[in-house]
Amino acid sequence: MTLLELDGVTRDFDVSRRWLNRLLEGEPRRLLRAVDGVSFSLERGETLALVGESGSGKSTLARLIAGLYRPTQGRIAFHGKRVQMIFQDPYASLNPRWRVREIVAEPIRVLFRRSTAETCSKVGELLLQVGLSPEDGEKYPHQFSGGQRQRISIARALAGEPDLLICDEPTSALDVSVQAQILNLMSELQRRLSLTYLFISHNLAVVSQVADRVGVLYLGRLVELASASELFTRPRHPYTRMLMDAVPDIEISGRARTPVAGEVPNPLAPPSGCAFHPRCPYAYDRCVAERPPSLDRVACHAIEEGRIS
Amino acid sequence: MILEVTGLRVEFPSRHGNLVALDGVSFSIAPGEVLGVVGESGAGKSVTGLAVIGLLDPPGRIAGGEIRLEGRRIDDLGPEALRRLRGRRIGMVFQDPLTSLNPLYTIGRQLEETILAHLYVSRPESRKRAISLLGETGIPAPEERLHHFPHQFSGGMRQRVVIALALAAEPSLVIADEPTTALDVSIQAQIIALLRRIARTRGTAVMLITHDMGVIAETADRVAVMYAGRLVEIGAVREVLHSPRHPYTAGLMGSIPKIGASRKHKLVQIDGAMPRLGAIPAGCAFHPRCTSRLPRCSAERPELLDAGSTLAACWLHVPDAGRV
């Protein structure tokens, strides 16, 4: 069952200078297109991961879906009731002056009519579910480590009984051993509560651990969307291949890799045609001139023409 | 050996008593070698780097042990002698390239200033060197880039400039503290390759401090794993990563997600968290979280011992350790 559908979603940000400066210096309006014509759908109970480097628009996309931004163009249809979000920085996302039980109870208080006793027992239950104890509810966020704070964030998100959980880099600020604890917790919760995750990350290895399907973003565009098993065994878009080659070879297997070249261009002046063409080993004149449509879930002229498989 | 550290102990006196940030840390780095120092937050890896270059924040101080650079003792040098050493004999690369560069000066000026401060060369010669350093660190069109300010560079290019700066006086040791952490994966791979190339071609010893095992796997020749201010395992990178001998290293390796691993597989989980400096357990600091602990582990602290392929501070590798 489809929970979320995006159709040609685009979001511009106005980064022009002030009106008077523009007038005096004859500068045009400047728009930054953070998300550019992204379409995909999300099924109930699955984990869709969006990967990309900084400036790829993954966080903007998360905020669009959460309703924190409105799309400039395109349509977002959500067939559920509630969305909750888990943020990257567990130090910034919890109110330091609230006790943990107040933090976790807030969505219950706002969204549901519950008696104090009911809320209280629900909070205890949620804290247990994320591996904390109900007594921890009396403490303040600063008394917890980063990993425990992320557990509190998860408990708060679950308190709203969301149909969709958007996780924006939920483990990027954590140490690897703590990251493993949180990733294991998230998969366990998904199994038990049949949650739907939209998981945003720059780390392909983390994504391969959690995702059913993966979308790869480059400069605001979705360049490839495939099931995780397919994407990781047979990446198709040249950018996806480059990303895979950039992942450190932790097993020291000595697998053959092409060195990564170039950097992400300035999103204020994205390249013409396919945004990846200046860094692409397979690019030719059509890639410079014409933006590739997304065919068979890959947006690439070279693949469309069968020049690469 | 370029750098030899023996029994290094660093303390931070505080109201809550003496906090021991490093305890009995010993390692060495040979010319052209990259030693990876890896650990999670609070393991003491950055403090190790800061102690070597004499930049510990007061009240932190070296309370024991020895640091030798090219055979000469440097841990007992005064501030002025240390200042001369930094930049000249030891180059530094930090995580955030923006804070390492002066935003008001062109990078050419910063490079030339560093070269002139440390080497007896003429101005035209310093410029020539600045250009060749930028070229060596992979900055295109170095003659033009010399006149640009830090904000005109991208993050990856800035880190290249910082590396060029660190190399300006041809130091024998470069300490790089999380040099790729602020960068995107594709840029990270490029900076890793650059660091490796520098160690190989210049014979510079590199101490690479990072939390990222992937970066270690790609760059380091040997790796030192730290936990709660102690070295728990040290050895050739392949051995430590493939067949770790210390339970902490093994747990750490298992907790790293890997592409291609089955999703049905749960990640190895080390329960609990690294102890605070004020509350490091007696005996082996890792024993409360260790699944294979022996009675001896909570009583007696293990030294680095020959554990076959690597050196590990773990009683499991002593034949009759079970007995106290």
Listed in sequence order, the residues at least 6 apart from A164 whose beta carbon sits closer than 8 Å to its beta carbon are A3, A4, A42, A65, A78, A80, A82, A83, A84, A196, A197, A198
Looking at residue A263, its pLDDT comes to 80
User: How, if at all, do strands A73-78 and A2-14 pair?
Assistant: antiparallel
pLDDT digits (tens, 9 = 90+) for B17-38: 888 999 999 999 999 999 999 9
**pLDDT category of residue B122 using cuts at 50, 70 and 90:** very high
Q: Which residues of A touch B190 (CB under 8 A)?
A: 259-261
Alpha helices by DSSP H, chain A:
19-25, 58-65, 100-111, 116-129, 146-159, 176-193, 204-210, 228-233, 238-246, 285-289, 301-304
Rounded Cα distance between B255 and B266, Å, is: 9
Looking at residue A154, its pLDDT comes to 95
Listed in sequence order, the residues at least 6 apart from B217 whose beta carbon sits closer than 8 Å to its beta carbon are A248, A249, A250, A251, A252, B237, B241
* Assigned domain for A138 exists: no
Do the Cβ atoms of A263 and B157 come within 8 Å? yes
pLDDT digits (tens, 9 = 90+) for B167-198: 999 999 999 999 988 888 888 888 888 999 99
Six-digit token string for B108? 């050419």
Burial of A129 (0-12, 13-18, 19+ CB in 10 A): middle
- CB contact at 8 A, B58 and B216: no
At residue B155, does pLDDT exceed 80? yes
0.90 exceeded by the pTM?
no
Q: Which helix (H) or strand (E) holds B223?
A: strand B222-227
* CATH code for the domain in which residue A207 is found: 3.40.50.300
At residue B324, does pLDDT exceed 70? no
Q: Is A243 on the interface with B (CB under 8 A)?
A: yes
Looking at residue B183, its pLDDT comes to 84
Residue B290's alpha-carbon distances to A259, B250, B281, B294, B314, in angstroms, are 39, 11, 12, 9, 11
Of the candidates B88, B112, B76, B56, the one whose C-alpha atom is nearest the C-alpha of residue B174 is B88
CA quadruple A218, A221, A225, A228: dihedral, nearest 10: 30
The stretch B232-243 carries a mean pLDDT of: 93
For B268, the closest of A180, A252, A262 (CB atoms) is A180
Domain residue ranges in chain B: 3-89+169-317
Q: Is A147 on the interface with B (CB under 8 A)?
A: yes
B136: Cα within 13 Å, side-chain hemisphere: 22
Residues with pLDDT less than 50, chain A = none
Q: Is A298 on the interface with B (CB under 8 A)?
A: no
Looking at residue A24, its pLDDT comes to 85
Looking at residue B69, its pLDDT comes to 94
Looking at residue B187, its pLDDT comes to 85
Q: Which residues of A touch B251 (CB under 8 A)?
A: 177
Alpha helices by DSSP H, chain B:
45-52, 79-88, 97-100, 107-118, 123-136, 142-145, 155-167, 185-202, 213-219, 237-242, 247-254
B 160-199: CB under 8 A from A = 184-190, 192-193
Please tell me the distance in Å from A232's CA to the nearest CA on chain B: 7
pLDDT digits (tens, 9 = 90+) for B57-100: 888 999 999 999 999 999 989 889 998 889 899 999 988 888 88
Residues recorded for chain A: 309
Rounded Cα distance between A202 and A247, Å, is: 11
Six-digit token string for B28? 């060495």
**pLDDT category of residue B262 using cuts at 50, 70 and 90:** low
Percent of chain B clearing pLDDT 70 (strictly above): 97
* Assigned domain for A278 exists: yes
- Count of structural domains within chain A: 1
Do the Cβ atoms of B218 and A248 come within 8 Å? yes
Q: Which residues of B touch A260 (CB under 8 A)?
A: 186-187, 189-190
| Cis, bond preceding B79 (omega within 30 deg of 0) | no
* Assigned domain for A149 exists: no
Of the candidates A66, A52, A51, the one whose C-alpha atom is nearest the C-alpha of residue A214 is A51
Do the Cβ atoms of A205 and B258 come within 8 Å? yes
Looking at residue A261, its pLDDT comes to 76
CATH number of B3-89+169-317: 3.40.50.300
**For chains A and B, what is the number of CB pairs under 8 angstroms?**
125
Of the candidates A76, A81, A2, the one whose C-alpha atom is nearest the C-alpha of residue A44 is A2
Six-digit token string for B31? 């010319």
B 113-132: CB under 8 A from A = none
Looking at residue B271, its pLDDT comes to 86
pLDDT digits (tens, 9 = 90+) for A178-191: 899 999 999 999 99
pLDDT digits (tens, 9 = 90+) for B280-309: 899 999 999 998 889 889 988 998 888 888
B77: region left, alpha or beta (phi > 0 left; psi from -120 to 50 alpha): beta
Give the range of the structural domain holding residue A253, as residue numbers without chain letter.
Answer: 2-80+163-304
For A53, the closest of B185, B255, B273 (CB atoms) is B185
Q: What is the DSSP letter of A298?
A: B
Looking at residue B263, its pLDDT comes to 67
Helices then strands, counting H and E runs in chain A, come out as 11, 9
Do the Cβ atoms of B269 and A181 come within 8 Å? yes
Of the candidates A256, A261, A248, the one whose C-alpha atom is nearest the C-alpha of residue B215 is A248
Percent of chain A clearing pLDDT 90 (strictly above): 63
Rounded Cα distance between A265 and A32, Å, is: 13
Please tell me the distance in Å from A226's CA to the nearest CA on chain B: 15
**pLDDT category of residue B322 using cuts at 50, 70 and 90:** low
A 169-188: CB under 8 A from B = 175-181, 183-184, 187
First to last CA, chain A: 31
The stretch B228-240 carries a mean pLDDT of: 94
Residue B97's alpha-carbon distances to A240, A275, B179, in angstroms, are 27, 27, 8
**pLDDT category of residue B244 using cuts at 50, 70 and 90:** very high
At residue B165, does pLDDT exceed 60? yes
CA quadruple B255, B258, B260, B266: dihedral, nearest 10: 20
* Assigned domain for A254 exists: yes
The neighbour count for residue A10, using CB atoms within 10 Å, is 18
Looking at residue B241, its pLDDT comes to 92
The contacts found for B16-19 with CB under 8 angstroms, 24 or more apart, are B16/B278, B17/B278, B19/B277, B19/B278
- CB contact at 8 A, B270 and A177: yes
* Assigned domain for A189 exists: yes
* Assigned domain for A103 exists: no
Looking at residue B321, its pLDDT comes to 55
Rounded Cα distance between B278 and B314, Å, is: 22
Looking at residue B149, its pLDDT comes to 94
Angle at B116 between CA B110 and CA B97, to 5 degrees: 25
Give buried/exposed letters for B90-106 (b at 16+ CB in 10 A, else e).
bbbbbbebeebbeeeeb
Q: Minimal Cα distance from B156: which residue of A? A: A263
